[in-house]
Amino acid sequence: MRFDRLVIEADENTFSLEFHPRLTVIGGVGRLEREGLITELVGSLSSSRAGVHAEIVADNGNRLAVLRPFGAQARVIDVEASADVSARFADDDGQIDLLSVAGMDTRAAKRQLRLTSTDLTTSTHHDQIIRRLACVDAEELWGLANRVKAAQAVLDEEADATGSAPEDAAVVARIEERHARFEEAQSRAERFRKVSFFGGAAAILAIPSVMWISQTIAMALVIIAALVTALSFMQNQRMEWARKAEEAALAEAGAQSYLGFHLQRVNGLLDSQASRQRLVEASAEHETAMSAWFATAGDIVVEWAEEHREEIEEAARRSKDVDAMNTGPLPIDTENDEVAAHAHALIQRLEQVRGIGPAGENLPLVLDDSLNGLDAELKAPLLEMLVRASESQQIVFVTEDVDVTEWARVEAITGDLSILEPTAGDVDTEGELDVAAHEATINVA
């Protein structure tokens, strides 16, 4: 199975992404935008929200349109046969969920179909990481893991209650922080304005009286009045800066971002102060728990540690006195050894998503800036390997890595891959995937 097109409706805008049958590189995409795009991409195969549509091609060549219109039942259309095949992909609740048919929920699918740079690193240095985690006190390690999972559950619950996604909490927290700064600056400016008004007025009114006593004192009063006025201006200027910072945070969450559909989510969050506050508090606790975890376990995610818990505990039993000095990176003799290690990890992950689709199809692998942090000279052979691997399996590479996008611009000439470099203006208000046209053409009951 491969993606052919993804369409996201947000308010009056429609965002459409066309995918290459083999390798698609989406460049210039920051962390929050990558998270949102991957969430929608994987979500389009599950019971995603209304307004997210996808065209996919099965391994046997069948072209399917997954339509999730607002205010209507989601459907799956076999485009070539002009038939409604929704029943084949409906879960127990009647929702269209291609992942459920394959025995996966959205969270598990997102974990399995996405490969981050941390995932690649952990796969490459698997044994070394097992030994390092085995050196951590077991009670402390798994206690922190439980804290992270509990915080994640609360964050998910609050996000579901507001009809948003957990990644929106970071956006809302930034908006809240800058809004608080603006209100503080506004209050400070107002207090200073009152003080400066009376102080400055008093100084100016006193000037004629003291002119008869001393011109020096009069000049000092003039200077004081000028300083008070200047300070008042500075306070107002700071308030203006804080206001612009708040507007910038709001704009970042809206249409000026590449994934402008975040605007719809954030608008919903801003409707309820209580919901917003609970979401921000849940996000703060999650961040604190994650920080404590990473401070102890390094850059290893909790899910990976849980998946390999038996290995970690067995390693701890075998060697309780392992010297922490020997827990650094595995030695690498040559550049080729490092390339081979990363290539093996990439191929292994590709193999893991083969044959797990709804009908045993290969699913696409989404690379989430996977080569970030590697030396530039190591990336080229790995990218070439991905091009070869994409002959039998679709790969979507979402990145803000300049090395990858520059390489893709050149290689796209061969036709083996495509590159998308979206900007704030890449909005198609007409919608490249015309859902209404699909309905009219297929003409199913």
- Residue 114 is part of a domain; what is its CATH number? 3.40.50
Residue 415 placed within a domain: yes
- From first to last of the 445 residues of the chain, give the pLDDT tens digit: 899 999 888 767 788 889 999 999 999 888 888 888 888 888 888 876 788 889 999 888 889 999 888 888 888 898 888 888 888 888 777 788 888 777 777 888 888 899 999 888 877 777 668 878 888 999 999 999 999 999 988 888 877 776 665 555 555 556 556 666 766 766 766 666 555 555 555 555 555 655 556 556 556 655 666 666 666 666 666 666 666 665 565 555 443 433 343 444 445 544 556 676 777 788 888 889 999 999 999 888 898 899 889 988 887 876 553 333 233 333 333 345 677 778 878 888 888 888 776 667 788 999 999 999 888 888 999 999 999 999 989 999 999 999 999 999 999 999 999 999 876 444 443 334 343 334 333 333 3
Residue 412 placed within a domain: yes
**C-alpha–C-alpha distance, residues 445 and 442, integer Å:** 9
Supply the pLDDT for residue 444.
33
Residue 296 placed within a domain: no
For residue 168, give Cα distances in angstroms to 175, 266, 405. Answer: 11, 7, 27
Entry pTM: 0.57
Domain that holds residue 65: 2-125+329-442
Structure tokens at 277: 């506050």
Task: Verify that 16 and 92 share a domain, yes or no.
Answer: yes
Task: Verify that 413 and 344 share a domain, yes or no.
Answer: yes
Asked which of 271, 296, 316 is the last residue of a domain, the reply is: 271
Supply the pLDDT for residue 158.
77
Residue 280 placed within a domain: no
Q: Do strands 63-67 and 75-78 pair parallel, antiparallel, or not at all (unpaired)? A: antiparallel
Task: Verify that 174 and 121 share a domain, yes or no.
Answer: no
Closest CA to 361 of 94, 106, 81, 89: 89
Task: Verify that 235 and 121 share a domain, yes or no.
Answer: no
Asked which of 222, 254, 271 is the last residue of a domain, the reply is: 271
For residue 221, give Cα distances in angstroms to 169, 190, 213, 265. Answer: 51, 23, 13, 55
Task: Verify that 239 and 344 share a domain, yes or no.
Answer: no
Task: Verify that 436 and 349 share a domain, yes or no.
Answer: yes
Task: Verify that 336 and 394 share a domain, yes or no.
Answer: yes
Residue 163 placed within a domain: no
**C-alpha–C-alpha distance, residues 265 and 250, integer Å:** 12
Task: Verify that 264 and 345 share a domain, yes or no.
Answer: no
First to last CA, the chain: 26
Task: Verify that 339 and 421 share a domain, yes or no.
Answer: yes
Supply the pLDDT for residue 237.
67
Burial tier of 371 (Cβ tally within 10 Å: 0-12, 13-18, 19+): buried
Number of domains the chain contains: 2
Task: Verify that 250 and 349 share a domain, yes or no.
Answer: no
Residue 315 placed within a domain: no
Residue 283 placed within a domain: no
Supply the pLDDT for residue 425.
46
Task: Verify that 188 and 260 share a domain, yes or no.
Answer: yes
Closest CA to 192 of 157, 231, 161, 153: 231
**C-alpha–C-alpha distance, residues 120 and 117, integer Å:** 5
Residue 238 placed within a domain: yes
Q: Which DSSP state fits 73?
A: -
- The answer to whether 74 and 68 are in contact (CB under 8 A) is yes
Task: Verify that 47 and 116 share a domain, yes or no.
Answer: yes
Asked which of 251, 271, 291 is the last residue of a domain, the reply is: 271
For residue 239, give Cα distances in angstroms to 194, 314, 327. Answer: 15, 58, 50
